[in-house]
Chains A and B, each alone.
Chain A
Amino acid sequence: MMGKLLRQPWVYSFGAAIAVWLATIAYTEGQGAGAILTAALSFATFTIIVGLGQMMVITTGPGNVDLSIPATITLSGVIAMKVMDEDTGRMAIGILAALGAAAAVGAFNYGLIRLLRIPPIIATLSSSFLVLSTAISYGRGIRIKPPEPLAQFAGAQVLGIPIMAVAVLALSIAMAVVLSRTVYGRSVLAVGQNSRAAWLAGLNAGRTRFVTYVLSAFLAGVCGILLSGFSRGAALNMGEEFLLASIATVVIGGTSVAGGRANVPGIWGAALFMYLLVTMLNTFGASAGVRLILTGLMIIGVIVLAGGEEQR
């Protein structure tokens, strides 16, 4: 039983998250133990949302990655806030507009990859310049506040558990079911493992990838709307830190970078680990240099541990 558990790649990211949390509260002598977890859950949810999208993209095979996530988060946040313009009655239309724009970015990304045959890493990077420029020119006057219900939803807690974390848990379970039980999810795995074999088996690799890129951009859009609700306003640099975070959570969480194997629970462990790690180093009063070095070393450590399984 224990051996079986240890072979699950996601166990390591959770283990690391718990270890870091224990180290933090040992240092504070127990003070704020619960509050730190609440904060970690609140902030990790954003990383989890985009991490799920990035996971699907990476799973569709070597070379597939979405670098336009930060720009899409910003665009969606800016559009949502601007269309809603602090008016509760316009919330629905704002959400639709933002998600529509985000999905369009995903479709555009795939268009660049498929029609113009540009490698995904270049295609999504260059489209992110276009997207960010659009956000800047559309958004000029930026930090517009969200309507109150949106802000309240994004910040609401019950007994120290953020409502949003519960919603994202439901989303994660849905993603896990999609991956293992639906034709689309299985196609993602099959295409990622061997694109040609999947094609010979009659799967449409093109359509699978198209849906995946749109899904990733769509989730980035969701993240943008929620984030601008949570931090009460959209800003042009709001997506910046999610580029590395989205990829790191996927990798630390045990999803195969070569594609074909996804891991949903690992995203949670990794996102919590990354947040708690920074919290721990802040609490210890480590200087920025030390913090960056330790963050790098610990990420490498977890990946080495989690990647210890035998090669196939």
Chain B
Amino acid sequence: MSTATTPTAAEAELAVQARQAPVRSQGYWAGVFKRVRRDPVTIACAAILLLMLLAIVFAPLLAPHEPYQGSMIRRLRGIGTPNYPLGTDELGRDIVTRLLYGGRLSWFMGIVPVVLAFVIGTTLGVTAGFMGGKVNMAIMRTTDIFYAFPSVLLAVAISGALGAGIFNAILSLTLVFVPQIIRVAESVTQGVRNLDFVDAARASGASGFTIVRVHVLGNVLGPIFVYATGLISVCMILSSGLSFLGLGTKPPEPEWGLMLNTLRTAIYVQPWVAVLPGACIFVTSICFNLLSDGLRQAMDVKG
């Protein structure tokens, strides 16, 4: 992998790439986009997610009340109360406002661990798959250890030991997803590594790093990305679950999982208000899941 690179060969290599790449990739992405556009379920999910994203980004403009300001005289109002369309929580805070603001943290904690795991897992997995040998052995056997824990248990174990907090929750969730992404990245890289064009690049004198950057990444990022989008749904459920257990965000911070936890005590008073935050988690999670399925089909990724 550390073969000497003659500058001319590498330059010629890159020049060829530069000439070919835009044309080919445009065709590919145009095809993906066309296939996505013909898939009503994927479009609908993307639209719902976009609306939710806009709603939580512009929460301060949309929210009718203050997220932290409660009142003892209007606690646990039902759905349809004037001024409080979805009722109030156990401290008299407006549910609509809390849901809008709560989405910010829930989305943040559902996406950030997956993004971190995507970066770390892809790096390690591609390294393992491309280098092979002892490096592969070291990385993959370490991955096996984390695979020996059910993911919920691992997340609970690490955040339980570290204590509650957003940072600890993100750390533990990242640790849950990194091994999964490493496995996918390693196996797709293994598949690409022995293809003819990699051999050709090596024969023309490209260094290991150049081969990975130019030839391998373009072929493996798609499948890994699709896999990672599927993880967002799981991550959303797990991170809200950690908050539900009191391990993620701390009160009075609005977060869907935590809201579900505190409203649980009100289940006999205002049952339908109490289940609203969970419905938000469900809708987000299922939309991300279907979006990931749609992307998988449109990008023709197997598995």
A and B are interacting partners: no
| Chain B residues in the interface with A (C-beta under 8 A) | none
